[in-house]
A and B are shown apart, each in its own frame.
Chain A
Amino acid sequence: MRKLIAILITIAISTALVRAQPPADMNKNNDVRFVAFDVYIDSGDEPLAAYQIDISDLSGRTKIVGVEGGESTAFDAPPYYDPAALHNEGRIILGAFTIDDDATTGKSRVARLHMQIEGEQPADFDVKLIVAADADGRDIDANVNINEGNQ
């Protein structure tokens, strides 16, 4: 009898403890986090009036969930992205231009990407500048990089 009671209590405790665990989905869903990444272009002394960049996720754990503009008035509107490149190849191709006389020089944040990341490991991006141009449409030299954004 006592053995039976002991077994029943053990089963009851075990069952309750097991059921109290959150479902697997919960852990899975909690694994994602959302991080902003700032995209900078440094065009030196050249006025930057247009750009196109190509960003690839090397980790395969990120999803873009929003695109925001940059800090200068020239690029403060959210840039456009190429939906076909994103859908078919997973590449983020961003582009923007200004027709006003407000091209920027030096290093400037031109866009901010809002990303969903799976897991705690940092994201790893390959960023390429496809083209940078001045107000007359001439190609200019520039560097592009991407950093995790701050609030």
Chain B
Amino acid sequence: MRRLTRRTWIFLIAATLPAIALTVFFYSMACSSQAGQFVDAEATSPSDRNYKDWDESDYYATADGDANVPVGRDALIENDASGAKPNYQAITKSTQPVPEYEEQLAAQLARPEAARSGRRGGRGRGRGMAPRASRGLLSQPNGLRQSLAAYPGALPSEDEELWIIQKAETDDNAARRGRGPGCGALLCKLPDQEEAIPVPLEHTDVNASISAYIATVNVTQKFANPYEEKIEAVYVFPLPQNAAINEFLMTIGDRKIRGIIRDRDEAKKIYDAAKRRGHVASLLTQERPNVFTQKVANIEPGKKIDINIKYFHTLAYDDGWYEFVFPMVVGPRYNPPGSTDGIGAVGIGARGRSGQSTEVSYLSTNQRSGHDISLAVTIDAGVVVKQSRCVNHVVETRIDAQQRTIVKLSDRDSIPNKDFVLRYKVADDKINSALLTHRDATGGYFTLMIYPPESMRSLSRKPVEMIFVLDCSGSMNGKPIEQAKSAIERGIKSLQPNDTFQIIQFSNNASQLGDAPVVASRGNVRRGLKYLKDLRGGGGTQMIEGIKAALDFPHDEERLRFVCFMTDGFIGNESQILGEMHDRLGASRVFSFGVGSSPNRFLMNRMAKLGNGAVAYLSLNDCGSDVMDHFFERISHPAMTDLKIDWGGMAVRDVFPERTPDLFVGRPVILTGRFDGSVGQRIRISGDAGGQDRQIVVNTNGTSNELEGLAAIWARTKIADLVDKATYADDRDISGEIRSLALNYSLMSQFTAFVAVDSLSRTAGTQGTTIRVPVAIPDGVRYETTVTE
């Protein structure tokens, strides 16, 4: 190689360095673009923190860097140079002044139009509590505050709070225009008012029809883009834990696209690819059996997209009352330290701070979004509905020409912040056991409701060992814990002198009335009531400690042991709880009482099922004494056990639950299975109640009611059974079985998802900004003690 001159070397270096710099620059741009395209936002920022553990330094940590989600809720300022449209930038939380922001603010404030923009375009000025960072910024004794104060309205006052949805950094065009979701939709509130906050979910419409004890429910979520650039909407919402979701439609204008059930990972890849390519697409995934995430990509400004979900489920039935439930909001869950696959509860702008794979964004107490709900239930019971009661909502009830009862949620009660619970009694007081069937190309399906014989009420119970376990965590603070205490008080007072009892409380840890259950003597009852009265809510939900404390001490063979859990079930580690309970259950029967307006019904039901007990709910409007009286009425008579069924010629298979549960007074059992051949004349169920043989006869007369949805209900029940088994059989791989079952029956599950793509057209530009739909905190739950900010 020819020897180079010094001048040539200098020239070479001078020419090369800018090339390197340019290359690195373009690479970094490519990386930032890729981050927006390929990184699954839900998989980011894992951490072992939870909302009870964070400290001041965590709280004031900078935003998580996910540019596609709304962040920042503090001071903001317009930076629109043109003055045509206000643009806002979030200032991350900081107790210290941030020099570059201050410079930016000062520079921007030099433009008078910035301060004159007023409230146009949903500008973020409103009254409210002063956010910390605002106070921090405002308290700085430097020239900035004075500069800001020179412009009327530029600074929030002490009682103002400003909200902002941050722009996507990847959308540079929108950023330049300053007309995207980062600016057009401002979130703000007044302290004494509820001001509508624009969110991409405008409305949820629920239309349910009930036939016999099967509900068919259509849920329509109406998404719209109120911003000035396209968005992806993400909404975490609840459905009943036993919902068999088998239909998913996406409506764009007058076009309806049926979603396809796919393996979950495959569906996510399809959705992501469609999103990147600008197609309108939607994805429904299951996070828990009762918690789901809906994503809708590429909603253009001003456009509306509806998502329709259809599901079936069986109703609960208890002492003459059927119960239909539609949950409206996911309660804020406690996740034990170290967990990352729970469901985090965060305030707006705190995306990623819970460290959980799924997060729910909550509006603070005095805020509400424009999202509302309408709901109607049509009951076609075959007989007149004699009495109905809606526990948490105001409803209007009428009977139509076909003698169907129609219950409609009142327009005055349309905020989705508590479970809709409708209980009704039919005119025929004597409820008989019944068989429902359905046949299609895949074979025959049935459900059998076995109602316990009334004669069981004449039998009296043995002495009991009653363990009351009270959740004293922060989410129970206030009315929920008072409700639960009132029920326990009634329970203690209902004990007989030969019974024993124990009271256990848990929050961050567990403690109890005494080392062992004490005899229900007058003095002990008084001592127990005083102990109960002094219990307060606060701290985490280490339910595992409550489980251990309740199930670990030796069982008194002379008494039946009943363990009553009073909790809202706001935890993210359900599987761990259920596994521990299964391992420690022994001779105990577990009765779970779901407390509050939106308890975790999945957990409550599974605890009762695993614990061979039953579930009851104690809403904020229920009377604790009545609920406990009802429970005591049930346990005051022996259950009918060791059930055996003569199917009368029906060739049944795959019946779930595999072990027929015990029958308690007033509480039927529902079995779901498949069958071949014809239905026989009658089905006979025999068992033992208090040492006496009992028999129940179900007359089918060779026919039965034909009901759509039974195939889906059967498949959903089988999936639930597989999940239960996996809870306590670690070595069993159920994913293949569940996946195959769900794909064959077009069912949502933890391993499958619905995806729908409109391939006919593509939207312009990049994939848009991700907006997470903030939801109301459940009625009666305190935001301050449950939500990470």
Contact = CB atoms under 8 A, between A and B. Distances in A.
Interface in A58-81: 63-69, 77-81
B744 A83 contact: yes
Contacts of A29: 38, 269, 272-273, 276
A115 interface: yes
A23 interface: yes
B249 interface: yes
A35 B759 contact: yes
B270 A116 contact: yes
Contacts of A66: 250, 257-260, 755-759
Q: From DSSP, what is the main secondary structure of chain A's interface residues?
A: mixed
B258 A78 contact: yes
A78 B442 CA distance: 22
Contacts of B401: none
Nearest to A35: B759
Contacts of B250: 66
B757 A116 contact: yes
Nearest to B252: A68
B740 A87 contact: yes
A22 B274 contact: no
B783 to A, nearest CB: 39
Interface in A1-53: 2, 5-6, 9, 12-13, 16-17, 19-20, 22-23, 25-26, 29-30, 32-36
B107 interface: no
14 contacts: A13-B20, A22-B30, A29-B272, A29-B276, A32-B273, A35-B759, A66-B250, A66-B257, A67-B257, A84-B442, A84-B745, A87-B743, A116-B757, A116-B759
Interface in B30-79: 30, 34, 37-38
Nearest to B755: A65
A64 B743 CA distance: 14
A121 interface: no
Contacts of A119: none
B27 interface: yes
Contacts of B260: 64-67, 81, 86
Interface stretch (B9-17, B156-164, B636-644): B9-17
Given A66-B260, A66-B758, 14 more contacts: A2-B9, A6-B12, A9-B12, A19-B27, A25-B38, A29-B273, A33-B277, A34-B274, A36-B759, A65-B260, A66-B755, A66-B759, A78-B257, A116-B273
B210 to A, nearest CB: 24
B261 interface: yes
Contacts of A116: 270, 273-274, 757, 759
Contact of B759 (A20, A69, A86, A114): A114
Contacts of B259: 66
B38 to A, nearest CB: 7
Contacts of A16: 20, 23-24, 27
Interface of B: 4, 9, 12-13, 16, 19-20, 23-24, 26-27, 30, 34, 37-38, 249-250, 255-262, 266, 269-270, 272-274, 276-277, 279, 281, 442, 740, 743-746, 755-761
A91 B695 CA distance: 49
A120 to B, nearest CB: 14
A122 B218 CA distance: 38
Contacts of B20: 12-13, 16
Nearest to A22: B30
Nearest to B261: A83
Interface of A: 2, 5-6, 9, 12-13, 16-17, 19-20, 22-23, 25-26, 29-30, 32-36, 63-69, 77-81, 83-84, 86-88, 112, 114-116, 149, 151
Contacts of A2: 4, 9
Contacts of B755: 65-66
Given A9-B16, A69-B256, A87-B744, A63 B30 contact: no
A142 B27 CA distance: 57
Contact of B13 (A5, A30, A81, A84): A5
Contact of A84 (B37, B266, B269, B744): B744
Nearest to B281: A65
Contacts of B258: 66-68, 78-81
Nearest to B278: A34
Contacts of B256: 68-69, 77-78
A148 to B, nearest CB: 10
Contacts of B281: 65
B279 A34 contact: yes
A43 B257 CA distance: 25
A47 to B, nearest CB: 23
Contacts of A9: 12-13, 16
A22 B757 contact: no
Contacts of B758: 66, 114
B277 A34 contact: yes
Given A65-B755, A81-B258, A114-B758, A26 B13 contact: no
B416 to A, nearest CB: 27
Contact of A151 (B12, B262, B274, B760): B760
Contacts of B746: 83
A41 B315 CA distance: 42
Minimum-distance CB pairs A-B, first 8? A34-B759, A78-B258, A87-B743, A83-B746, A20-B27, A65-B757, A114-B759, A16-B23
A105 B208 CA distance: 36
Which of A68, A79, A149 gathers most chain B CB within 10 Å?
A68
Nearest to B271: A65
